[in-house]
Amino acid sequence: MLSEFRYCKLSKEWTLFAPERLLRPKDFSQNQNEAISQEEECPFDVHKEHLTPLGIAEIIQENAWQCRVVPNLYNALSIDVEVQSIKDGFFDKFSGFGAHEVLIETPLHDKQMVDYDYNNFSNYLTLLQQRTQNLQKDTRLAFLSIFKNQGQNAGASLSHAHTQLMAMPFLPKKMEEEIALKKSYFQEHKRALLDDLVYEERNFQKNIVCENSDFMVYCPYASKFAFEVKIASKKKLSSLVEFDAKDISALSDILHDFFQRFKRTLGLNVAFNMIFKNAPYRNYDANTKEYFRFSIEILPRIYKTAGFELDSEIYINVVLPEIAAQAYKESL
Ligand SMILES: [Zn+2]
């Protein structure tokens, strides 16, 4: 069965059904965070390129690829499907049109983001930017989700470090609401909402982890997850597509700084999700950067979320952000 989006008229939210995803390989055992025996071939390793679909983009240094992008073999969305809204009796559905790509961050099977140097981050961001710019050219795409699942608790099925890109023909409800809020805030105050939040965090002081000329890292005042971190752009940047070489360099620098703190504070094996908050493709123009500010969210998955969170969308967090920020700050 092909993937399809189905619409819930009650919650006004879409669900993506992707049966293909059931077939994907797993290298985590059922009960532990440890990888299963390494006998099975990892499709992301160097010299195993024949196990993935044909590459889309790569960065080569010293005659070897440093990171590469391939179509997701077990894709939830496909660019070859017709864009189609379908009536299914009383219900609404939408064809599984979109793009689903995997960025393999390193040729080394065991190297994790906490061990990346400045050059690793710079290659990684350069390639992410290339794909974000390239997919934007397809005017059928409204929204690109860029996310990393690290560790089984964060939803990863393969341990080899990778980031996923999923582009869709419409905006998720949450993003639509976020855009509306940011636009109306800008209309009222003539400032971006996140700029004001960063200003308030700066006055509050206690939640700031580190910063450089262009980016600030802080534990948000109302963090949902223990040791959650936000990396916010201090410059008027709304998306990776706007970054110049200096911006890429400043972000590589701050990611390198932060992940060293992350490793020293939480150890090597803490699962986390990392989410890139770019302005969506739909209605993107020269004014977007006035109200939408680029940021990255890093969400450690130390404690599990459960029924209360699913029902209320209110998260229970056992670590205050000022405690988390202090631990990160003092770790280097
Ligand atoms: Zn591997």
Task: Output the CA 107–ligand 1 centroid distance in Å.
Answer: 7
Task: Output the CA 67–ligand 1 centroid distance in Å.
Answer: 12
Task: Output the CA 34–ligand 1 centroid distance in Å.
Answer: 14
Task: Output the CA 294–ligand 1 centroid distance in Å.
Answer: 31
What is the rounded distance in angstroms from the CA atom of residue 227 to the CA atom of residue 323?
9
Tens digits of pLDDT across the chain (332 residues)? 778 888 877 777 887 888 777 777 666 655 444 454 454 789 999 999 888 888 999 999 999 999 999 998 777 788 888 888 888 887 888 888 889 999 999 999 999 999 999 999 999 999 999 999 999 999 999 999 999 999 989 988 889 999 999 999 989 999 999 999 999 999 999 999 999 999 999 999 999 999 999 999 999 999 999 999 999 999 999 999 999 999 999 999 999 999 999 999 999 889 999 999 999 999 999 999 999 999 999 999 998 888 888 888 889 899 999 999 999 999 98
Orientation of helix 193-204 relative to helix 173-189, angle to 10°: 80
Task: Output the CA 326–ligand 1 centroid distance in Å.
Answer: 35
Task: Output the CA 69–ligand 1 centroid distance in Å.
Answer: 14
Task: Output the CA 102–ligand 1 centroid distance in Å.
Answer: 13
Task: Output the CA 282–ligand 1 centroid distance in Å.
Answer: 35
**pTM attached to this predicted model:** 0.92
The tokens of 275 are what? 């989410």
Task: Output the CA 163–ligand 1 centroid distance in Å.
Answer: 13
Contact between 321 and 207 under an 8 Å Cβ cutoff? The reply is: yes
- Residue 315 is which amino acid? Y
Task: Output the CA 158–ligand 1 centroid distance in Å.
Answer: 8
**Of 77, 76, 78, 72, the residue nearest 44 (C-alpha):** 72
C-alpha pair distances (Å), 301 with each of 11, 149, 224, 263, 270: 26, 10, 11, 14, 7
Neighbouring residues of 158: CB distance < 8 A, sequence distance ≥ 6 = 25, 26, 27, 42, 43, 44
Task: Output the CA 110–ligand 1 centroid distance in Å.
Answer: 7
Contact between 105 and 162 under an 8 Å Cβ cutoff? The reply is: yes
Task: Output the CA 179–ligand 1 centroid distance in Å.
Answer: 38
Task: Output the CA 9–ligand 1 centroid distance in Å.
Answer: 42
